Amino acid sequence: MSNLLIVVRDIHFASSVIVAGIVFFDWLIVAPVLGADLRLTATFSSFRETTQKILWLSLGVSIVSALAWLCLLSTRIAGKPFEQVIADGTIWIVLSRTQFGIAWAARILVAGLLAICLASRQRHKALPADWRGVLSALLAGFYLGLMAFAGHGEEGLGYERDIHLAADFLHLVAAGLWLGGLLPLAILLTYLRMRGEEPWLTAACNAGSRFSTLGILAVSILLISGTINASFLVGGIQSLIDTRYGRLLLLKLALFAVMVSAATINRQYLLPRLCKGDATDRSDPTVRWLVRSTLAELALGLGIILIVGVLGITAPAVEMASHVH
């Protein structure tokens, strides 16, 4: 049961991060870089077609995995088989009378509103800068951030709990901003190079630079909020080594450090090369390197998501016995 719950959590985290990432990317990168430039129509069209397919698929997977998470958690809480949890109404009690359930109901409602908003954008062939784009980004942010109410973000009492929840909310949104944006960035750079519409190089430079700046903001939020979260969940440096939770957290931090290093290489070496005009034609490997590096970051990010799925059901670094007075 625990292993299945971990798999479902991982799928849900990954799909939700991708949903938010694509929507954020559309609003913050595509709108200013491609939205107003009519010369890049074919690139924009290809990018939009591919990312919309991924977006809808991810949203569907995210909603289904959210429901699976609710079912699995209900069986775990009640200690009853799945059929009985449905038959005796336990699942409705979890949904309507626990904070997890109420947060989940709110998230499913937000997902529904997001789907309506996205469908409306598609029907009207709206530009990314359209108000629906802004509303979609807000809804996607809430959809991702409200997951904070479903796990260790609830640790603590009083104002400490509020701080922890706020930090967890921001941590999730920042993950969507950076990690979720890597996939659409790789797709956009690939299409820019593939279509070769002028000024593809300027657009690639602008998109890369904007995403890099956004990445710095996201990494800063992740570092601050992650440190706040750790202050609630780790009982000292020794616990980082002595407990399963601590060791998983260290592994997550190591992957995060490698991701930041890869992003730093992109920012320090590849982007300047692209923006100085050193990569003058499509045969130049700079954009390909940038795409590969972005995909490598994405793979590391998925590794982090796998760890997050386990961390959520692992007792934080403290022994139960120490709390019995």
Partner 1 sequence: MRMLKFAAAAFLAVVAGTAAQAHAFLDHAEPRVGSTVPTAPRELALFFTQNLEPAFSSVEVSDASGARVDLGKPTISTSTMRVGLKALPPGTYRVRWQVLSVDTHTTEGSFTFHVKQ
When asked if residue 98 is in the footprint of partner 1 (CB under 8 A), the reply is yes
Out of 68, 223, 295, 296, the residue judged to bind partner 1 by CB under 8 A: 223
Report the residue number, 45 or 220, with the smaller CB distance to partner 1. Answer: 220
Tokens of 189: 């750079």
> Do residues 77 and 101 make contact, with C-beta atoms less than 8 angstroms apart?
no
69 Cβ neighbours under 8 A, 6+ residues apart: 5, 8, 9, 12, 104, 150
When asked if residue 154 is in the footprint of partner 1 (CB under 8 A), the reply is yes
Give min distance, CB of 279 to partner 1, in A.
Answer: 25
When asked if residue 213 is in the footprint of partner 1 (CB under 8 A), the reply is no
33 Cβ neighbours under 8 A, 6+ residues apart: 203, 206, 207, 210
When asked if residue 233 is in the footprint of partner 1 (CB under 8 A), the reply is yes
Q: Using CA atoms, how far apart are residues 90 and 318, in angstroms rounded to an integer? A: 30
Give min distance, CB of 237 to partner 1, in A.
Answer: 5
> Do residues 35 and 210 make contact, with C-beta atoms less than 8 angstroms apart?
no
Out of 24, 47, 100, 178, the residue judged to bind partner 1 by CB under 8 A: 100
Site residues for partner 1, window 160-179 (CB under 8 A)? Answer: 161
Give min distance, CB of 40 to partner 1, in A.
Answer: 33
Q: Pick the closest to residue 259 from 172, 167, 179, 176 (CA basis).
A: 179
When asked if residue 99 is in the footprint of partner 1 (CB under 8 A), the reply is yes
> Do residues 293 and 188 make contact, with C-beta atoms less than 8 angstroms apart?
no
Q: Pick the closest to residue 50 from 194, 212, 147 (CA basis).
A: 194
Helices (H), 39-98: 41-78, 82-87, 90-97
Site residues for partner 1, window 122-151 (CB under 8 A)? Answer: 150-151
Give min distance, CB of 266 to partner 1, in A.
Answer: 14
When asked if residue 157 is in the footprint of partner 1 (CB under 8 A), the reply is yes
Phi-psi region of 247 (alpha: psi -120 to 50; beta: other; left: phi over 0): alpha
Out of 22, 34, 73, 144, the residue judged to bind partner 1 by CB under 8 A: 73
Tokens of 315: 């007792």
Q: Which stretch binds partner 1 (CB under 8 A): 22-30, 93-101, 126-134, 277-285?
A: 93-101
When asked if residue 324 is in the footprint of partner 1 (CB under 8 A), the reply is yes
Give min distance, CB of 323 to partner 1, in A.
Answer: 3
Report the interface residues with partner 1, using CB under 8 A: 73, 76-78, 93-94, 97-100, 150-157, 161, 219-220, 223, 226-228, 230-237, 239-240, 253, 257, 260-261, 264, 315-318, 320, 323-325
